[in-house]
Amino acid sequence: MTKKIGRQSLRFENVFIKSWASAAGPTEKKGTFGSYYDFTIHDALFGENSFEAAEKRMFTECVKTLLKKASLSINKVDCLIGGDLLNQIVTSAYGARDLDLPFLGIYGACSTMAEAMLLSSMQIDGGFAENILCGTSSHFGSAERQFRFPLELGTPKPPTAQNTVTGTGVLLLSDRRLTQIKEETRIRITSGTIGKPVDPGIKDANNMGAAMAPAAASTIAAHLRELQKKPEDYDIILTGDLGTHGSDLLHILMEKLGFDIRKQHKDCGAMVFAGLPSHYSGGSGCGCCASSLASYFLSEMQKEKFRRILFVATGALLSPTVVQQGETIPGIAHAVSIELAEKHSENDISFQIESF
């Protein structure tokens, strides 16, 4: 079967999500997915001396939690592919150091989780690895002072702004050709679409939804066209952190491209703090979509509430320096199609990729 479809899309045959784990902060615990996280930290410092150290510990503990859930020795992991929002992706890099894991560090801003899943799927489907961890994290305290202002300054935000999620999500992707995988999971990655940077000319770092929505629309449209699918083929089209304002813009842009996704679309950023006060347009950060996917969405898919999810992580490719120099903010989005394999009997699971 041809693996490359069109210019941007790929098809996978042998990639399954064997296990997953998530963690979040105390505020996120009060939000929409609070009961689904594997663990939550009691305060922003998590017993450490800095926000950065707390984020690293949260990420590392999340990996350990996943391996325990999967009953997998860390020596069986071929590679960790991940990144975060901090300079030199220190959270994931230092996490890999502490865990003694082979490491491929990547940066796609808040699109990093989908990027990691795509790269992991390519390695596994190509026969270059059997078990790969992919994960990302973010922390309100560390990201706010790096990309915006020190928390102590108390700088007000406009309604279009978003709050960085304190959270992490890690997935274990495995080769389904390993016989034991067939008995342990039915959730597979069937295809994906690599996004292109799209620059709508936004210069306001407090309006990330508007900066990222055109990239999300571009990637979703490319995925649907190249793989000959319709929005209704998916139970959910799940974007990463467009927030409420960015989600509204995405719907308008998709209609202009000939697709109505309003019924299928959900956004992790718009959902994660829903019902809580003072969170503006919603959540953001690498950990926003990663912790949401690795908590509520995969858990409910395992229970057969969802059968097909198009996961579209969105990122704003900016740095504080270039924004202060007057540069515009391009966005990017990568898409991963996640599907629940059919189970015909207790001991018979169909692994055929459906041409839905």
Both tokens assigned to 275: 């019902």
pLDDT at 279: 75
Which domain covers residue 165, as residue numbers? 4-175
* pLDDT tens digits for range 335-353: 999 999 887 544 444 544 4
Domain count of the fold of the chain = 2
Radius of gyration of the chain (CA): 19
Amino acid at 284: S
Same domain, yes or no, for 140 and 234? Answer: no
Cβ–Cβ < 8 Å for 333, 314: yes
Which among 193, 223, 217 is positioned nearest to 117, based on CA atoms? 193
pLDDT at 1: 66
Global model pTM greater than 0.85: yes
Q: For 155-194, give one letter per residue: b (16+ CB within 10 A) or e.
A: eeeeebbbbbbbbbbbbbbbbbeeeebbeebbbbbbbbbb
Q: Residue 183 domain-assigned?
A: no
**CATH number, domain at 307?**
3.40.47.40
Same domain, yes or no, for 165 and 230? Answer: no
Sequence-distant (6+) residues with CB within 8 A of 27 are: 140, 166, 273, 276
Tell me which of 124, 151, 175 is where a domain ends: 175
pLDDT at 354: 46
Residue 184 has pLDDT above 70, yes or no: no
Where does the chain show beta strands of DSSP type E? 4-5, 9-24, 39-40, 79-84, 103-105, 131-138, 163-164, 167-175, 187-193, 236-239, 265-267, 283-284, 308-316, 331-340, 343-345, 348-349
Percent of the chain with pLDDT over 90: 81
Q: Residue 119 domain-assigned?
A: yes
Same domain, yes or no, for 154 and 198? Answer: no
Average pLDDT over residues 308-332: 94
> What phi and psi, each to the nearest 5 degrees, are found at residue 41?
-85, 150
Burial of residue 130 (number of CB atoms within 10 Å: 0-12, 13-18, 19+): middle
Same domain, yes or no, for 150 and 197? Answer: no
Same domain, yes or no, for 147 and 208? Answer: no
